[in-house]
Structure 1
Amino acid sequence: MLWLTKRRGLLWILFLTLSFLSISPAAFGQKFTFGVLAGVSLSDDFRPTTRTFLGGTTQHVSNASQWFMVGPVLELALPGQVSVEIDAIRRRIRSTTLTVLAEPIEFPGGITISSLGPFTAEGFTWQFSLLGKYRIDAPRVKPFVELGPSFLPQENRDQTGITAGSGVEIPLWRLSVAPTLRYTRWVNNDNLGGVRNQFQFLVGVHETSTSVRPRAFGRQLSLGGVAGLGLTNLLRDRFEPAFLSSSVSDSDTAMAGIMIELPLRERLSVEVDGLYRPEHLIDRAHLPDGSIQNGTRTAFITWQFPLLAKYRMSGSRVAPIIELGPSFRAIAHANAGNYSHYGITGGMGAATRVEGLRIAPAIRYTRWAADKRRFGQEPFPGTRLNQLELVVGFSF
């Protein structure tokens, strides 16, 4: 029953998202802008911390995060000097752990081990921010302030915070450059040595335009939403006969996200999608009477970013399409660094227009690279190499 409630909730959110994205910006006279955000972290994610266990063994934690960050930004201008901005910033947040043993371990041959590590643990990779912005009306340089929630998705321990920032927009030729100083207060950072207060310096760049349609490289972009269904399971099943236990994943999982399409020629374009796909790993116990009892459900969250070249064939109302290109994915899991993050995606479908709205269903196949093997062992749960998906794009 809980599974059904979650599924209905996801589909309802998906419906509202697609309803919003499928409305042409010309219908309400607002302007979209699409750009890039890059910058550096001005503070560490972990402070040097020491923890002592019973018996005298100590554990030392230090920061190992990347300082550089980059990602796309989408902004919707509202009436007056107000706008809404959505950021997806990529930066690897990591920590290093060194364990010093209270008593060294001695092995035959004179080998002595007094410490374990240091080991680097992968934390978060993507930060998503939803910010309201207010600009001060000025002839050229426009100061602004921004405020909103930020999220770091990671398995069952998502991190949530409040972000506030201030900066200026500076016109530079046909571009708008916006250096910004941001502060984030993470409200649930319970990691050992985790820092709750974060400062970042960012520079946003986007093309200036008076059109209500978003533009990039002098061409109008198509924005919209993507909804779909995974026709194959994302994770591999596992059976442990010695423990009479197994693990399986959800089937027919829903996915949803946004799409941006840039036309190149009359029938040729490039499409970038950001697809959110939640999956769950289900532990099961095999009882002596032959029955199976479901146990713990563990979240396994992925964000997939296919970058596809699309070709539309000629057609009167329905135009066949083919698409091909690389795919990248971010995995919100405790051992995300052990999983494959790239693959090749190909698809076939058709596109038609209904009163200005383009609808494009397609079947996509993705061949992912193999997961990494650490000390001869694959990560658990392991991902499947071959993925088949049914997706429907809605754009204007």
Structure 2
Amino acid sequence: MISVLLVDDEPVLVDIGRLFLEKVGNFSVFGCLSAEEAEKLLEKNSYDAIIADYQMPKMNGIDLLKIVREKYGDIPFILFTGRGREDVARDAVNIGADYYIQKGGDPKLQFADIAHKIETSVERRRALIAIKISEQRFYDIINFLPDATFAINTKGTIIAWNREMERITGAPGAQMMGKSGYAHAVPFYGYGRPMIIDLLLRPDPVIESKYRSLIRENGIITAEGALHLPDRTHFFLARASFLYDQNGKPAGAIESLRDITGFKETEEKMSRIIHHLPVGIHLFRIQDDGKLHCHGGNTASGEVFGIEDRCIKGTLIEDLFPGEEGTRICSASILIAKEGGRKEVENVHIIPGTDTKQFNLTIFQSDTEEVAIIYMPVCGA
């Protein structure tokens, strides 16, 4: 139901207007006989649209339009004017009337036209309000995300810059919003340059090759990198994806930055500890050929196989574990790499040169499609 306030100093026209509108459309029409009365009604009630005559005593329709625009925003407003009052029509449009209509002619046709104009303007206003509400929700959600997050449109203009971005960069959102020319990169690098959000919208193989671990998948880019902030260098896991409009077309992109500096520092400490452990550890990762290849190992793992330092990166797991026993270990390792789990294998014979050594192996998933194997020497072997 569309609520309409009809204002005219002629009671007959108010009654006719109410009858016609409520008959031809889904309207609830409230009538009054002066602009002053309309002003009082607007203070107490809300209406979806206003129709007002221009020529009224004391306060005319233009005066009422000015009050409505000042106090009540963009409520659809239709002004009735007399014939030959082009100056009034011009003023009405300049102040913000949605439509102006000259009185006269067939009332039935005229009010049918008014009904159509009301429906059009009310639907347009409701759509704009819905868009604003949707945008506000979008900004509210982004603001409360724990990760630093910003968004740009297809022209590269910043359209969102959340509180965590403000915190880590020291750049207020109010200053960043609306900037373009890779302005989003300036707080991190000191100058404008493409980030992964820009590579999503405009791919550049040369720039992408500079990232150590950039992955494109299903319209999403993920990459790790170091960014230089005012306090120190931080490591981030960055993730960028498209923003779409109501027609499903890209309208921009959004990027989130998760600070993994603490994780990287812990990982580095653990790596140093692992490399100095007396127990051998190997990491194997599934590659494009579907097989497990050595990804790394500590110093003690080299001693297990009689290799001076550690497992040569890229070595197939089958080359380290040959024979029937090795087949069981390889099969179990691939399964664990894909599905997780843990397996203990006892008394494995490893033969570096002519010496036979026995180990108990512990195999477990250390990361997605990756397994770790720990070698524990069998006492007395």
Tell me if TM exceeds 0.5: no
Task: Name the structure where strand makes up a greater proportion of residues.
Answer: 1
Larger Rg: 2
Give the TM-score normalised by structure 1.
0.21
Give the TM-score normalised by structure 2.
0.22
Higher relative contact order (CA 8 A, sep 6+): 1
Task: Name the structure where helix makes up a greater proportion of residues.
Answer: 2
